[in-house]
Amino acid sequence: MIKEKIPEIAGLSYTFRDRGTAIPGDHRPVWRMALVVCLLKHCSRAQKSSLVRLHILDWAVRRVKARDQLLAFLQGELGVRYICVRYDPALLRAVLFGEGEQLLKVAGKNVQLLLAGERLAGEVETSKTILSKCPAARKASLSTPSASADVCICPMNSARPTAKI
């Protein structure tokens, strides 16, 4: 039928290959699960957090501009109406996958890191490639705020001032 409509391709042979679709790393559930376990291990009390807080941290660690906005807000330099936190549905999918893999426990609107999730977070920390471009992935990034900020959103160093989210 197509050959009749386009005569130039009538005598040619065709081969179609399914090459898949490239998905950015931050949209992959496994990548996001690794990020969630690291956030719960290092950026929460008793390795528990609400989903709202996880969304805020997820938004802040994936982009430097977002992290700087959150830090400016926490320091009182920026008003709440100048921050637009993006709630990403991929985070909720990753949390549900993490629960299915028994890395996380979801109770209502709260998420808790389980022992297997803690082990995964340890493996992510020692890996040189997993989450390598994510500001929250490396231990140094978690304990070192941006150059213009005095507040860590993920406190690992008790000597630094911290902010509550």
How many contiguous H segments (helices) and E segments (strands) does the chain have? 7, 3
Note the pLDDT of residue 128. 75
Q: List, for residues 72-108, the tens digit of each pLDDT value.
A: 998 999 888 888 888 888 899 999 999 999 999 999 9
Q: How many CB atoms lie within 10 A of CB 31?
A: 18
| Band of residue 139 on the pLDDT scale cut at 50, 70, 90 | very low
Note the pLDDT of residue 26. 66
Distance CA(144)–CA(92), nearest Å, equals: 27
Q: List, for residues 29-47, the tens digit of each pLDDT value.
A: 788 899 999 999 988 889 9
Tokens for 27, please give them. Answer: 């949209």
Q: What's the burial of 35, exposed, middle or buried (CB within 10 Å: 0-12/13-18/19+)?
A: buried
Distance CA(111)–CA(54), nearest Å, equals: 9
For the cut 60, the answer to whether the pLDDT of residue 143 exceeds it is: no
Note the pLDDT of residue 50. 95
- DSSP type of residue 86: P
For the cut 90, the answer to whether the pLDDT of residue 114 exceeds it is: yes
